[in-house]
Structure 1
Amino acid sequence: MAHSVADIAQAIGAEAAGDLTLTVTHASEPATAGPQALALAMDPKYAPGLAKGQAQVAMLWPGADWQGMGLRAAIFAPRGRLAMAGLSRMLDPGPQIAPGVHPMTVIDPSAQIGAGAAIGPFVTIGAGAVIGARARIAGHVSVAEGARIGNDALICQGARIGARVRIGDRFICQPGAVIGADGFSFVTPEKSGVEEIRETLGKRDEIHQQSWTRIHSLGAVTIGDDVEIGANCTIDRGTIRDTTIGNGTKLDNQVHVGHNVQIGNDSLICGQVGIAGSSRIGNRVVLAGQCGVNDNIFVGDDVIAGGGTKIFTNAPAGRVLLGYPAVKMEAHVEIQKALRRLPRLAARVGEIEKIVGASSSGD
């Protein structure tokens, strides 16, 4: 589908110059852009690529000399990535799901399907489930009994929505996510080795055989509005109360959220993060890739944790964390500097020991 320069500029709230009637069909990097492409060069370092491509229109930084670059029109983006958000939303057609319900889908007679919903093939929707208006559900999705999904949802191929899960409006779920599986919760008849270690911090009096008894998950999962769940995420339902995810929170691919976890609003949870059971994550928290959060702790509002950080204890609001175990970022930087100095320090200590040893033998 073609879009005019004027339409794009209006859609993303940007200024434009030149021939605003020109149309583009897609976005491209500058060096590979053809005449129907919108070249993306929102930073001066990408401008040299325009000479290698054939773009007539480019998205540029404010004040750029677009005419000097040989362009016929330009769109100016003061904040490049924000402009990309609007542009990508405009150009993304999304998955092709035909209107209505595919004949190879199985829907329980007691389920409710909202007006304008589009449901692909091999979808199953259980008893008492409610699907909101204009929801789009791709092939091979399963929605279990009693689940409720809000308006304007997009659920991609192979996702699994468990029993009694509650999801708000404008939900986006990428392929393969599982929402509402049982929590990983087990107990032993006698005190387990894990319980003993938690109490003694490492000391074990006796090692004995033990077997695990399952604690069933009676709760579900509650998800707010405008939440996005990445591919192959797993979100366990609560033991008694629901696992909860607040409005506007985004989960990257392969994130695991354990049973009873509470995540606040507008948090960003990046790839391969694991959050153990009964932890509480505040509002606007950012956990970078491969972070780990221990069970039964809280991470306060506006905490930012760098990649690979392991959080074992409560983190106060606004703290910036890094490392294993997590410490303040500035402390982690100093620790790493000190570690790099250890070989030289060890060599100096060795030299001092030789001098001291020689002096002692001389006496």
Structure 2
Amino acid sequence: MTFTLDQIATALGARVEGDGSLPIVRAAEPAEAGPDALALAMNPKYADGLARGRARAAILWDGADWRALGLEAAIFVPRPRYAMSGLTRLMDPGPEIAPGIHPSAVIDPSARIGAGAAIGPLVVIGPRAVVGPRARIAAQTVIAEDVLIGADALIHAGVRIGARVILGERVIIQPGAVIGADGFSFVTPEKSAVETVRETLGDAGGAAAQSWTRIHSLGAVSIGDDVEIGANTCIDRGTIRDTRIGSGTKLDNLVHVGHNVEIGRDCLLCGQVGIAGSSRIGDRVVFAGQVGVNDNIFVGDDVIAGGATKIFTNAPKGRVLLGYPAMRMETHVEVYKALRRLPRLFAQVAELQKSVSKRPGSD
């Protein structure tokens, strides 16, 4: 695909200075940009890269002198990183899924396929499933019975969607994700050691040896509009009610959402986040990588948790958390500073002990 600089600027709501008719084939880092590339030099620190590259046009920071940088034209945007969203959307062709239904796809006669949908090779669609208009489903995806997929959804290769799952409009699911596997729910005939430990916070008691018995998952998964789910992410079905993901929420790769979990709108969950069963997450919550959330707790709206934070108790609305166990971020920073001072403190205490022991009458 080829765009003129003017076309790109129009798509970004930006202004062009110089020759807006320059053809652009791709975006590139400044030092690697050739004559047909748009160099992404959105900060003065990239000026040296422009000198090493051969770009004719670039996206520049406000106030930059594009002529002095040896360019023929430039685009200026008020918020460069946000402009990246529009630029990449414009230039990304997406997966190549041929229109219509591939001959190797296996589709139950009772399934309904919306107008303009594209079904790739070796896709399996189960009984009574509904695929919305213009949805695109890539190769080797398996869609179980009674699944409902909204309009304009994009499901990449190798996704597995369990029975009765509901996907909203414009949902994007990356390769290998599993939506609607059974929840991890097991119980013992008598009180188990785990239950005892929960009550005693440490003492397993005299629980007898016994086997685990499955609690079957009768619920499903319900996902709102404009949700994105990363590669190899797993979202378990609910035990009785559905596991729910609110509209606009984005899940990174390798995220695990347990059974009965409810996640609000416009949340951002980074890689390897794990949320245990029956927890509730509010709106606009952000979890950095490897955040863990205990089961049966509530995390309020607008909570932000830093990397590897472990949340064991309810988190109030708007709280910024860090650490294991989770605490206010500013408190965690102070605790960490104090922890680093401990060796020096121990040395000082040892010196004081020596001084005291040498004093007359200290025996």
Category of TM-score, reference length = shorter chain: over 0.9
Deviations 1:305-342 (A, max 9, x none): 00000000000000000000000000000000000000
Shift of 1:16: 1.0
Post-superposition shift, 1:10?
A: 0.5
Tell me whether 1:136 sits opposite 2:133 in the alignment: no
Partner of 2:75: 75
Over residues 21-56 of structure 1, what are the superposed CA-to-partner deviations in whole Å (9 max), with x where a residue is unaligned?
Answer: 111000000001000000000111111101111100
Deviations 1:229-275 (A, max 9, x none): 00000000000000000000000000000000000000000000000
The equivalent of 1:338 in structure 2 is: 338
Distance 1:104 1:347, change over 3 A: same
Distance 1:46 1:346 in 2: 48
Matched residue type, 1:94: G
Q: Distance in 2 between matches of 1:239 and 1:204?
A: 27
Letter of the structure 1 residue corresponding to residue 215 of structure 2:
I
- Displacement after TM superposition at 1:362 (Å): 5.5
Task: Name 1:202's counterpart in structure 2.
Answer: 202
Counterpart position of 2:53: 53
Gaps of 5+ in 1: none
Alignment of 1:234-273 (within 5 A): 234-273=234-273
Change (3 A) 1:362 1:166: closer
Aligned to 1:148: 148
**Off by >4 Å, runs of 4+ in structure 1:** 360-363
Which residue is equivalent to 2:6? Answer: 6
In structure 1, how many angstroms separate the alpha carbons of the residues matched to 2:240 and 2:52?
A: 61
Listed as ranges, the matches of 1:12-161 within 5 Å are: 12-161=12-161
Q: What SS does the corresponding residue of 2:184 show, helix, strand or coil? A: coil
CA distance in 2, matches of 1:84, 1:39: 12
Whole-angstrom CA distance in 1 between matches of 2:35 and 2:205: 75
Query: Residues of 1 paired with 2:210 and 2:65: CA distance?
Result: 73
Residues paired across the two proteins, number:
363
3-state secondary structure, aligned to 1:84: helix
Q: Deviations over 1:252-303 (max 9, x none)?
A: 0000000000000000000000000000000000000000000000000000
Q: Percent identity?
A: 70
Q: What is the 5 A alignment of 1:291-310?
A: 291-310=291-310
Within a 5 Å distance, the mapping from 1:348-363 to structure 2 comes to 348-359=348-359
TM-score (norm 1): 0.99
In structure 2, relative to structure 1, the CA distance for the partners of 1:140 and 1:357 (3 Å cut) is same
- Contact 2:192-2:207 at 8 Å conserved across structures: no
Q: What displacement does 1:205 show?
A: 2.6
In 2, Cα distance between equivalents of 1:125 and 1:196:
45
Partner of 1:218: 218
Shift of 1:208: 2.6
After TM superposition, the structure 1 = structure 2 runs for residues 270-289 of structure 1, keeping only pairs within 5 Å, are 270-289=270-289
Summarize the Cα distance change of 1:247–1:354 in structure 2 as closer, same or farther, 3 Å threshold: same
RMSD (Å), alpha carbons: 0.9
**Secondary structure of 2:359's aligned partner:** helix
Distance (Å, rounded) in 2 between the aligned partners of 1:14 and 1:294: 45
One-letter code of the match for 1:279?
A: S
Asked if 1 retains the 8 angstrom alpha-carbon contact of 2:193 and 2:205, the reply is no
Q: Distance in 1 between matches of 2:175 and 2:203?
A: 44
- Counterpart amino acid of 2:125? I
| Aligned counterparts of 1:124 and 1:40: Cα–Cα separation in 2 | 42
Paired amino acid for 1:128: R
**Structure 1 residues 360 and 178 mapped into 2: Cα distance closer, same or farther (>3 Å)?**
farther
Supply the distance in 1 between the matched residues of 2:206 and 2:357 (Cα, whole angstroms): 45
* Match of residue 162 from structure 1: 162
Deviation, structure 1 residue 361: 5.2
- Structure 2 counterpart of 1:230: 230
Normalising by the residue count of structure 2, what TM-score does the alignment of the two structures yield? 0.99
Tell me which amino acid in the other structure corresponds to 2:322.
L
Structure 2 match to 1:182? 182
Tell me the SS of whatever aligns to 1:321.
strand
1:39-80 CA-partner distances (Å, limit 9, x unpaired): 000111111101111100101112210011111110012211
Letter paired with 1:245: I
